[in-house]
Amino acid sequence: MTRPPDYPPEYAAYAREFGLNLARLRTARGLTHRDMAEITGMAENTYQRLESGQSKAGVPLNPQLRTLLRISQALEVPVGDIMLGGAPDLTTGRRAMR
């Protein structure tokens, strides 16, 4: 069994807020989870996991760029509108290794 990547707690919190932002944008447009699944071509439970901020229990989501583009196009907003400001610094581990 492969071990999930280690994410700093700040990333998990950011992923949850990202999911809440998706839900706000979706409901503001009067769309359901099913609508988003149909428009984006993804499974409904996959989209629901994005809004939960987790890819599976205890593991923060890490969507692909293609997924972000599909969602922004479905919501008819720029990709920047689905992303949040204040993203956590994920480079600190790399700096420590230098």
pTM above 0.75, yes or no: yes
What lies within 8 Å, CB to CB, of 25 at 6+ separation is: 75, 77, 81, 82
Q: What is the largest CA-CA distance in the chain?
A: 49
Classify 19 as helix, strand or coil.
helix
Q: Which two tokens stand for residue 58?
A: 């205890």
Render pLDDT for 61-93 as a digit per residue (tens, 0 to 9): 899 999 999 999 999 999 999 998 888 887 765
Q: Where are the domains of the chain?
A: 9-78
What is the pLDDT at residue 96? 46
Render pLDDT for 3-58 as a digit per residue (tens, 0 to 9): 456 777 888 999 999 999 999 999 999 999 999 999 999 999 999 999 999 988 88
Residue 18 · residue 8 · CB < 8 Å: no
**Assigned CATH for 9-78:** 1.10.260.40
